[in-house]
Structure 1
Amino acid sequence: MRCELLRGAIGLSAFTPAVASWLARDPVRHNHLCTVVSQRADGVLPTEPDALWALIRAAPGTPPAWIAAWTPPHLLLVPELDDEAASALVDALLEAGETVPGVTGMAPGPSAVARAWTARTTASARRGMSTRLLVLETLRAPDDVPGRLIRADWTYRPWLIKAVLGFEADTPGDEPEPFTERDAARRVDYFLSGGRAWLWEVRGEPVAMVCFAPPAAAAYRINAVYTPPEHRRRGYAAAATAELSQHLLDIGAAAVLLFTDAANPTSNGVYERIGYRAVAEGETWTFTPS
């Protein structure tokens, strides 16, 4: 296999049509890649000048067998690459003089990249967060939780910024750059501008947050589910996730999915009780030069 690297916005303009069919084959497992590509191709987020878009082909001129994306300062993002594809990707990155801080994505792709990277460099690799991809099967919404789901407007922006900071503080992170209040504000503005930030409200007070990413081939990903500590263990997050899941089905979602921390049995149990089931695993590796 050979890997072709395209760079920045100009590279993305060639990458996007080349990978459309590949991404559409499995918009659930490849949802994170779909989102990263579409957000930048549609101008929702600016394309990083040093972003790299990888086309991994079995032979020159053939459709891509695999793809990958690197949008610094984030980690390299890969699908479930095999060893041959991972080796081709790492070879191309090193030939281009790139040093990536780590890799994340669907198993076993990150492990394959980590093996190839450490075999070709002096870096060591550390296993990071493991995730679980859950897909909604049959929704079972709780009916005994007080409150209601509302779409957040801009008046809730300060509350949402605090909630996103709390969510990040509670979530193990492997990204090379620390998450700041400015990052939280940018994320909240992104959710609010698209009408994708929702709140569970009890007696006029927001008690939980749930958001979702733009759809990829009619597959919607729920993310940033968070309840402040003083409102936990009352079922608010489960109720909010279930109600938002139903809303997404009502507007035409072909699939609703979310990622959880594989090491957190509490959150996994909550989602499984409302009808989600695990279909795949994700993993992360970070690299440290010797």
Structure 2
Amino acid sequence: MPSDAWHLTDDLDTFVAHTEDFLRSRPALHNTPLTVIRRWRTRPGTYVPGNVLFGRLESAGEIQAICYRPPSQRLTLTPLSPGRANALAAQLAALGHHLAGVTADEETAAAFADAWQRHTGATPTLPFRMHLYRLGTLTPPDPRPEGHARIADERDHDHLIRWCRDLAADLGETVTVDAHSWPSTRFAEKRYTFWQTPDGTPVSMAGVNPMVAGMVRVDPVYTPAHLRGHGYAAAVTAEVSRAANAAGATEIVLFTAADNPTSNALYQRLGYQRVTD
């Protein structure tokens, strides 16, 4: 067996058995695979056996990196050197696998895209860039907008679906969120908190993923367009960050669009520090 080799499987349990310790070793950087795999393992209907390709890179018996490609055909990768990215691209191309895109840290994504182009002739484009932030010391907004936080419950279900639809549309995603599809979407497993005005009107929301490996990801944060600019998003983000700290989270992370200076400045004011692109 080569000392540095990619091992592919379509079996989730096999993949987790080999890679769980590796993923938990860097929970902030590995937040996406940790939360996605947790959802597949705990929420019925979100994972179809044999429908996802998993890969692990082993060197001298130790895991160095992982990848997975769900039905969307978008490959997710943990950090890789250009040589290792090329080896994976060559192996996937030789086996006839198809990809719609790659999500990874900036250097890894660029290296893999270049390699995929060499092996398949596909021309890569860059549709979006994001920043990953980790919370340092929480600094609540001052002044804080009028109102208070409230955890969403069953009475808010229709409201949550509507706002998640609006969020998906704002992000340019295909909007498929409705009452029927909700349980299988990425929105369903989150715990939501509203910021509401003194009269009880919700004006912003923030969701958090269930804690895994001591890590909580804040996602999504949404304020309707006509209510922005009043500090509501800062207030509700500070509240869910405080609650995650109180619940024992050791890593609290979130993603922002790289081309949105408003949201990037907001999270930095709250104490979030940039980790990677």
Higher relative CO (Cα under 8 Å, sequence separation at least 6) belongs to 1
Determine if contact 1:3/1:89 at 8 Å carries over to the other structure.
yes
- In the other structure, the counterpart of 1:288 is none
Determine if contact 2:73/2:99 at 8 Å carries over to the other structure.
no
Distance 1:93 1:183 in 2: 37
- In the other structure, the counterpart of 1:170 is 170
Aligned CA distance change for structure 1 residues 115 and 240 (closer, same or farther; 3 Å):
same
Alignment counterpart, residue 9 of structure 2, candidates 6, 31, 34: 6
Aligned CA distance change for structure 1 residues 184 and 264 (closer, same or farther; 3 Å):
farther
TM-score (norm 2): 0.91
Runs of 4+ in 1 over 6 A off after TM superposition: 187-190
User: Please, which moves more after superposition, 250-259 or 37-46?
Assistant: 37-46
Give a deviation string over 1:158-194, Cα, whole Å, max 9, x none: 2111211221222255xxxx232349952697656x5
The answer to whether the aligner puts 1:161 opposite 2:161 as a matched pair is: yes
The answer to whether the aligner puts 1:179 opposite 2:180 as a matched pair is: no
Alignment counterpart, residue 196 of structure 1, candidates 191, 197, 202: 191
- In the other structure, the counterpart of 1:69 is 68
Distance 1:6 1:207 in 2: 45
Q: Give the AA of the match of 1:252.
A: G
Determine if contact 1:54/1:89 at 8 Å carries over to the other structure.
no
Determine if contact 2:205/2:233 at 8 Å carries over to the other structure.
yes
Aligned CA distance change for structure 1 residues 105 and 244 (closer, same or farther; 3 Å):
same
- In the other structure, the counterpart of 2:205 is 209
Q: Secondary structure at the match of 2:66?
A: strand
Identity of aligned pairs, percent? 30
Q: Give the AA of the match of 2:164.
A: V
Distance 1:270 1:180 in 2: 29
User: Please, which moves more after superposition, 126-135 or 92-101?
Assistant: 92-101
Give a deviation string over 1:22-67, Cα, whole Å, max 9, x none: 11221001100111222212345532332011011235xx122111
- In the other structure, the counterpart of 1:105 is 104
1:121-136 to structure 2, matched below 5 A, reads 121-136=120-135
Determine if contact 1:80/1:107 at 8 Å carries over to the other structure.
no
- In the other structure, the counterpart of 1:146 is 146
Distance 1:246 1:188 in 2: 28
Give a deviation string over 1:77-132, Cα, whole Å, max 9, x none: 11121112212221222233211101012221111110110000121100121100
Distance 1:118 1:189 in 2: 31
Aligned CA distance change for structure 1 residues 216 and 247 (closer, same or farther; 3 Å):
same
Give a deviation string over 1:128-177, Cα, whole Å, max 9, x none: 2110011111111124311111111121112111211221222255xxxx
Distance 1:197 1:244 in 2: 9
Q: Secondary structure at the match of 2:128?
A: coil
Distance 1:44 1:146 in 2: 40
Distance 1:104 1:268 in 2: 20
User: Please, which moves more after superposition, 25-34 or 137-146?
Assistant: 137-146
Distance 1:40 1:195 in 2: 14
Shift of 1:278: 0.6
* Residue ranges of structure 1 left out of the alignment (5+ in a row): 282-290
1:24-39 to structure 2, matched below 5 A, reads 24-39=24-39
CA RMSD of aligned residues (A): 2.0
User: Please, which moves more after superposition, 113-122 or 83-92?
Assistant: 83-92
Q: Count residues with an aligned counterpart.
A: 271
Distance 1:132 1:190 in 2: 20
- In the other structure, the counterpart of 1:56 is 57
Distance 2:180 2:237 in 1: 21
Distance 1:182 1:74 in 2: 23
Distance 1:183 1:116 in 2: 41
Aligned CA distance change for structure 1 residues 71 and 190 (closer, same or farther; 3 Å):
closer
TM-score (norm 1): 0.87
Aligned CA distance change for structure 1 residues 138 and 171 (closer, same or farther; 3 Å):
same
Determine if contact 2:75/2:99 at 8 Å carries over to the other structure.
yes
- In the other structure, the counterpart of 2:16 is 16
Aligned CA distance change for structure 1 residues 213 and 112 (closer, same or farther; 3 Å):
same
* Residue ranges of structure 2 left out of the alignment (5+ in a row): none
Determine if contact 1:16/1:41 at 8 Å carries over to the other structure.
no
